[in-house]
Amino acid sequence: MINKVAVLLVVLLFIIAALASDPDPVMGFCIAKSPDNSFSCKNSSTATVEDFTYSGIKSPGNFKQTGFSSMAVNSNVFPGLNTLGVSFVRADFGVGGVNVPHFHPRATEVAFVLEGKIYSGFVDTNNKVFAKVLEKGEVMVFPRGLVHFQMNVGDRPATILGSFDSQNPGLMRS
C-alpha cells in the first residue's frame, strides 16, 4: 500500500512540474494575433522582421517614488516572443533608487548591469542572503521563486537588463 502511495505522489509531482512551466513550442514561431495571446497565431507567410523586433525600451519608463523604473518586454507587448519561453526587462534606477524585494514565481532571472553600481541580492529558502555590489558589465542570477532586490549605490543613474526563462515570469512584490 505504501509503495502505491509513493508512486502516486511521484506521478503527481511530475504532473505539477509539467503544468508549472511554459509549454514546448510545436512550431518555429507563433506570433500572437492579439496582445492577450488568446487567439491563434498569425499566418507565418505574412510575418515580417517587424514581428521579431521591439523598440519600446530605448528610454527609461516612468519612475516610482522609490527611484525605480521598469519596462517589461513580454509576449503581451512584443507578440514575436509568444511561445518562445523568454522575456526581458529594462530596469532603471535614480541615485539611491530601489527595486523593492520581489520574486518571479515562474522564472529564473539573469540581470546584467549595463550602467552604474547596483547592490543586488536574493534570499534562499534557508533565509541565507546572497548579495554584493555589481558594477557595469557584471551579471547576477536570481533563481526561480526566490525573493530578490536591487539598489543603486552609485553616484549616478544605473540600468539593468534582465532576461527570464519564461514568456510570463510573473511578479510578486514582497
pLDDT at 40: 80
CA atoms within 13 A on the CB side of 24: 2
Show binding-site residues for oxalate: 99, 104, 109
**C-beta separation of 153 from 117 below 8 A:** yes
- Across 7-11, 58-62, 158-162, the highest mean pLDDT is recorded for 158-162
Show binding-site residues: 99, 102, 104, 109, 148
pLDDT at 52: 93
Show binding-site residues for Mn(2+): 102, 104, 109, 148
Q: With bands split at pLDDT 50, 70 and 90, how would you rate the model's confidence at 165?
A: very high
Residue given cell 534582465 in the structure block: 162
Q: With bands split at pLDDT 50, 70 and 90, how would you rate the model's confidence at 161?
A: very high
Residue pLDDT, tens place only, 50-99? 999 999 999 999 999 999 999 999 988 998 998 899 999 999 999 999 99
Q: With bands split at pLDDT 50, 70 and 90, how would you rate the model's confidence at 32?
A: confident
Q: Measured on CA atoms in the order 62, 143, 22, 114, is the torsion positive or negative?
A: positive
Residue pLDDT, tens place only, 98-152? 999 999 999 999 999 999 999 999 999 999 999 999 999 999 999 999 999 999 9
Fold of 2-173: Jelly Rolls (2.60.120)
